[in-house]
Amino acid sequence: MRGPHDVGGLPEGPVDTEDHVLTFWEKQVDGLRAAVGAKGLMTSHESRRAVESLGDDAHRNMKYYERWTAALCRNMIDKGVLTQDEVDAKVALVRRRLAETGELELATAGGEPRG
């Protein structure tokens, strides 16, 4: 049975081959994943397993680094490095800060941040 990540051979249209310039937060997620790996807290296999287990909705609606972020959070919670309450509190804090500056509305207006 196929997982939601296994789309090889399915009719999904053309592949976007354009270069993607990483945003600041995407670079941060990449760095966090590398640091967590270097500390021995998570292997690339665990990261891949967590991304692959996110489910259909995540693979359909989340972007690449959003899935990495969700997988990193899941692994850190599963290993007891973070709690779900800690993650939820930090997300709420960031959302409040973005809402205060208007950046949250900019980021969600068209699905993409505007510069």
pLDDT tens, position by position, 66-80: 999 999 999 999 999
What pLDDT does 113 receive? 46
What pLDDT does 28 receive? 94
What pLDDT does 67 receive? 93
Q: What is the pLDDT of residues 5-61, one digit of tens each?
A: 555 566 767 777 888 899 998 999 999 999 999 999 999 999 989 998 898 888 889
Cβ atoms 37, 44 nearer than 8 A:
yes
43 within a domain of the structure (yes/no): yes
Q: What does the alpha-carbon distance between residue 42 and residue 71 come to, in Å, rounded to a whole number?
A: 11
- Domain limits for position 102: 83-115
Domain total in the chain = 2
10 within a domain of the structure (yes/no): no
Question: What phi-psi label fits residue 21: left (phi over 0), alpha (psi between -120 and 50 degrees) or beta?
Answer: beta
CA 71, 74, 80 angle in degrees (round to 5)?
140
Looking at the fold, whether 44 and 91 belong to one and the same domain comes out as no
Q: pTM of the predicted model, to two decimals? A: 0.73
What six digits make up the tokens of 74? 């899941």
Looking at the fold, whether 70 and 89 belong to one and the same domain comes out as no
